[in-house]
Every structure is written in C-alpha cells, then in structure tokens.
C-alpha cells in the first residue's frame, strides 16, 4: 500500500463535476482511505463546498483547491493518470489495468528505486489521479494531459459509474496491502517518467506550436488538432529535465531563425 507520506503526494482531480453531492462523496472516500489533496477544475455548481455528503470530511472539502482549467490543476504534477472505461473509447495513451495502479504510482513516486516498507519518495515527484464529469467522463482533450489511462472495469451494458464510487474503487486499490494489490511494479510496461511537470510540458508544447505556425506547417483550421497531438506526444516521451532544456533551446533557436527569415513576423 502507499505510505502516508506517499499518499500526501497524490492529488485527486475532478474535471467539471456537476453534482455537489458527488464531490462530497469523493471527499468522504478520500478520508476513508487516507488521502487529503483534492482539486476541482471547472466545477459546474458554484456552491460545491457546502455538500452535505462529505460525511467525516468537511475540512477536506473546505480546503480543496479550485482551478479554472485542467491544465492549471495539473501544472505541478510530474505524472498524471486519467481514469475511465474502455467502452466507446479508443485511448491514445497506454492503458493500465486498475490492479496495476498502485505499483505504477509507487514507481513514479520513488524515482524508480525499490520501495521500502516505509515508502521511498523522490522529492520532486507529485502524481495526479484524474476523474471526468458524471455524464461522459474524461474527453479526448482532457486525456491529452494524461500519461496513462487507468481502466476501471465495468460491464459494457452499464459502463457509467457514479463519480464517488469510481474514486472509492481507485483509492481502495491504492490503500490495500501491496501483496494483494495486483501485479508487482516490475511487471508494468509503462515507462518511468522523470520529474518534469505538466506545466513545463505545456510550455514546451506552446513553443512547438508557435514554431509550427511560424513555419506554416499546417493551416489555421488544424491548429487545435496539432496542439492536441503535440500534448499527447510529449507525455509519451519520458523527458528528463535536461532533455526539456535542450529541446526548449532548440525550438527557441528555430523560432528565432524563422522570425528573421520572415522579416520579424511569425
């Protein structure tokens, strides 16, 4: 299981939740399993902190972070796992079965070394577990911020799951003893992602997009699609901080040269 110190590095992020009672149920589930960091991005209802369903967790709900966008919510995270079912979905990210979630997060938090009983933590690492809105779950655009998709196995006849229940199921997997929590970390096929934050990856994506525009790589109508593809691509590269600096320098130089050749115009 994740140690208390490791759980303190896990952020539960809800994207555009509609029902305050579901947000309260999420806070209750987090308290049940020892998690304390909740972020709500683009909430539908303005008074969600007053949900009466946060039984035993009113302080967690009161101190939850509120962000306008998912990108803002994830800016300090070095590894992001989206959640959902594969029914009616063709993910562009590696798919992780729910029982493999705990070993995977342990690897991301401890920097790839063997986790001790007390739990090793890399000081720069922070992970997020992201849940979509009740009606349709995470969108393709939401998942572009995620390194992997964690599959919550549901019956195809009823793939939709209550938000509070989905969070409880996932956190249970993280809280139960590791010897029964599924595949060991060495069996997961997902690469270890170095401590490059989501905000840094978005900064690089913005620079790549500016360079593509300056090079007239594609028409304006394709810019949104290109932005999505670049965001997905960068999260699959396992960049180190050194890699990030080199690539930023490269694209800044290319953009500068393109600006000179265009007479200073993008």
Angle at the Cα of 248 (from 225 to 222), degrees rounded to 5? Answer: 15
Q: Which residues are bridge partners to 96 per DSSP? A: 150
Angle at the Cα of 20 (from 51 to 35), degrees rounded to 5? Answer: 75
* Mean pLDDT for all residues in the chain: 85
How far is Cα 128 from Cα 50, in angstroms, rounded to an integer?
24
What separation in angstroms does the CA of 122 have from each of 106, 207, 255?
10, 28, 35
Which residues, at least 6 apart from 263, have a Cβ–Cβ distance to it below 8 Å?
none
- Residue 188: pLDDT above 80? no
In order, the DSSP letters of 221-256 are GGHHHHHHHHHHHHHTS---HHHHHHHHHHHHHHHH
Least-confidence region, from 93-107, 181-195, 243-257: 181-195
Which of 61, 64, 90, 93 is CA-nearest to residue 80?
A: 93
> Mind listing the pLDDT tens digit for each residue in 77-124?
999 999 988 877 788 999 999 999 999 999 898 865 433 334 455 556
Handedness of CA 138, 81, 85, 165 (dihedral sign): negative
> Mind listing the pLDDT tens digit for each residue in 127-141?
999 999 988 889 999
**Quick one: CA torsion of 164, 165, 166, 171, rounded to 10 degrees?**
90
Q: Where are the beta strands (DSSP E) in the chain?
A: 10-15, 37-41, 65-67, 79-84, 95-97, 127-131, 148-151
> Mind listing the pLDDT tens digit for each residue in 213-240?
888 887 888 888 888 999 999 998 888 8
> What pLDDT is attached to residue 113?
41
Q: What is the mean pLDDT of residues 176-202?
A: 63
> What pLDDT is attached to residue 86?
82
Indicate the pTM of the whole model. Answer: 0.81
> Mind listing the pLDDT tens digit for each residue in 192-213?
555 789 999 999 999 999 999 8
């Amino acid at each position: 299981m994740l140690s208390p110190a490791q759980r303190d590095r896990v952020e539960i992020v809800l994207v555009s939740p509609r029902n305050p009672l579901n947000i309260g149920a999420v806070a209750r589930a987090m308290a049940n399993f020892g998690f304390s960091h909740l972020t709500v991005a683009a909430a539908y209802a303005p008074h969600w902190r007053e949900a009466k369903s946060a039984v035993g967790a009113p302080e967690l709900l009161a101190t939850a972070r509120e962000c306008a966008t998912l990108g803002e919510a994830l800016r300090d995270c070095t590894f992001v796992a989206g959640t959902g079912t594969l029914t009616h979905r063709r993910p562009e990210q590696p798919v992780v079965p729910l029982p493999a979630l705990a070993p995977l997060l342990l690897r991301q938090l401890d920097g790839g070394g063997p986790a001790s009983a007390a739990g090793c933590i890399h000081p720069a690492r922070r992970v997020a577990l992201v849940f979509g809105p009740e009606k349709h779950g995470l969108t393709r655009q939401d998942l572009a911020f995620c390194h992997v998709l964690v599959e919550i196995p549901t019956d195809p006849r009823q793939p939709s799951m209550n938000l509070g229940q989905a969070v409880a199921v996932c956190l249970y997997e993280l809280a139960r003893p590791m010897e029964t929590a599924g595949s060991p970390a060495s069996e997961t096929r997902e690469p270890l992602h170095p401590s490059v934050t989501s905000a840094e990856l978005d900064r690089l994506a913005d620079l790549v997009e500016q360079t593509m525009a300056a090079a007239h790589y594609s028409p304006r109508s394709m810019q949104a699609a290109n932005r999505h593809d670049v965001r997905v691509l960068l999260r699959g590269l396992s960049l180190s901080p050194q890699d990030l600096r080199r690539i930023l320098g490269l694209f800044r130089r290319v953009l500068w040269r393109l600006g000179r050749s265009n007479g200073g115009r993008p």
